[in-house]
Amino acid sequence: MEWINEFLEGKREKSLLRVLKPAYSKNSGLICFKNKEYIDFSSNDYLGLSGHHKLKNVLKKTADIYGTSVCSSRLLSGDLELHHILEEKIAKFKSKDSALVFNSGYQANLGIISSLCKKGDVIFSDRLNHASIIDGILLSGVKCFRYIHNDINNLEYLLKKERGKYKKGFIITESVFSMDGDSPRLDEIGRLKDKYNCFLMVDEAHATGVFGETGAGLVEEQGVSGSVDLIMGTFGKALGGFGAYLACSENVKQYLVNTCRSFIYSTALPAYVIAVNLAGIDLIRQEPYRRKDLLVNADFFREILEKNGYSVKGASQIIPLMVKDTNKAISIGEELRNKGYWVLPIRPPTVPVGESRVRFSISYYHTKKILENLFNDINEIRKKYDF
């Protein structure tokens, strides 16, 4: 297949070829590659729960009872009482009537959007929405208008111009954007949703466990759960587990159980994963200091970068250091790894051309001392590279 060889060679020539890097161990904010240990700034384990002793104990006990797999989809023999308990807890957690568990965030967004949106409908999607949202929209085949990132005026312009031409209308946004670490005004989007008769879907993958009085996310923090029809999120980030969910009405849940192909045709998540997810929700309520310390330290790191003339984005635990030039971002990432930090460059097509960056994913393990040392090392690298 010559075209594959040409693709790979072209990427190699430009130093843009992505390769898999198997880790030997990963625990307590550290990651080990080829016998070298790094402080991990690329993980979404925001609260450090993936290594929590309570989750490990729950995993072992549940696996002893149920085994390693249910070996069936939920519509056959893979449906366990634990799945329903988790869905009830998620619904209550997110202030919705019901919930449905999915095997991953990608499968959730792909299946939810392509099932609910049909020919003749229209979607208004934030320009920086995750690839899983984009692919769900493409699979649905409906007309989509992408509004300027977090720009309420542009969203209303498009709604006013286009909404009346279609049947159902959907507005889709993330609450914390994975590459920029920023957030929209969900109350303003909710106002437009009502004004233009749309459904509102919010992806809370990077906000659940981190924001809100109980850790339920930005929808909770901004007090807009009544305006958001579909709240999607994941267990595999701050909650320390695996899988995803949709919090919604009971009718929407039943509709998806009967139509959503990514749900219907997937082997159900094993019992020990479901039990870990249940325990993760309990832990973010039992140990609120984790998210409070996380956000305090993230603000500290962002502020010292900004005060020293660095270009950063966001207002969350995700802090992108803007470099712009792709090759320079790659080099800076390499320099930081040489100093013991597992930090990866983000470049096109994940981000637009000219917006390459080094992305820091701050976690509960990153103390102020670690962040101060990181800042000093960034300053040293700055002497070599102009950024």
Domain ranges across the chain: 11-40+288-382, 54-286
Can you list the alpha helix ranges (DSSP code H) found in the chain?
Answer: 2-13, 53-66, 81-93, 105-116, 131-140, 152-162, 186-195, 218-221, 250-259, 261-264, 271-286, 289-307, 326-338, 368-382
Question: What pLDDT, on the 0 to 100 scale, is given for residue 108?
Answer: 98
pLDDT at 143 over 80: yes
Asked if 126 contacts 145 with a C-beta cutoff of 8 angstroms, the reply is no
Asked if 346 contacts 329 with a C-beta cutoff of 8 angstroms, the reply is yes
Cβ-based neighbours of 277, under 8 Å, separated by 6 or more: 86, 101, 235, 239, 241, 242, 243
Over the stretch 13-43, which tens digit does the pLDDT of each residue have? 776 788 888 888 888 899 999 889 999 999 9
Over the stretch 314-369, which tens digit does the pLDDT of each residue have? 999 999 999 989 999 999 999 999 999 999 999 888 888 999 999 999 999 999 99
Question: What pLDDT, on the 0 to 100 scale, is given for residue 171?
Answer: 98
Cα–Cα nearest to 99, from 85, 109, 113, 110: 85
CA distances from 75 to 105, 109, 159, 170, 350 (A): 20, 20, 38, 28, 36
Q: What mean pLDDT, rounded, does the chain reach? A: 96
What string of DSSP letters covers 219-243? Answer: HHHTT-TTT-SEEEEESSSTTSS--
pLDDT band at 55 (very low <50, low <70, confident <90, very high): very high
Calculate mean pLDDT across residues 48-72: 96
54-286: what fold? Aspartate Aminotransferase; domain 2 (3.40.640)
Cβ-based neighbours of 312, under 8 Å, separated by 6 or more: 302, 305, 306, 319, 320, 321, 322
Calculate mean pLDDT across residues 74-94: 97
Cα–Cα nearest to 201, from 225, 229, 182: 229
CA geometry: angle 91, 94, 97, nearest 5 deg = 40
Cα–Cα nearest to 94, from 185, 211, 187, 255: 211
Cα–Cα nearest to 122, from 72, 64, 167: 167
Distance CA 207, CA 119 (A): 31
Distance CA 169, CA 337 (A): 46
Residues serving a catalytic function are 44, 130, 174, 178, 203, 206, 237
Burial of 369 (0-12, 13-18, 19+ CB in 10 A): exposed
Calculate mean pLDDT across residues 99-116: 98
pLDDT band at 51 (very low <50, low <70, confident <90, very high): very high
How much is the CA Rg of the chain, to the nearest whole Å?
21
Name residue 50's amino acid: S
Question: What pLDDT, on the 0 to 100 scale, is given for residue 256?
Answer: 98
Say which CATH superfamily domain 11-40+288-382 falls into: Aspartate Aminotransferase, domain 1 (3.90.1150.10)
Q: In angstroms, how far apart are the furthest CA atoms of the chain? A: 61
Measured from the Cβ of residue 167, the count of other Cβ atoms closer than 10 Å reads 11
pLDDT at 261 over 80: yes
Cα–Cα nearest to 298, from 317, 278, 270, 273: 317
Asked if the domains at 11-40+288-382 and 54-286 fall in one CATH topology, the answer is no
pTM of the model: 0.95
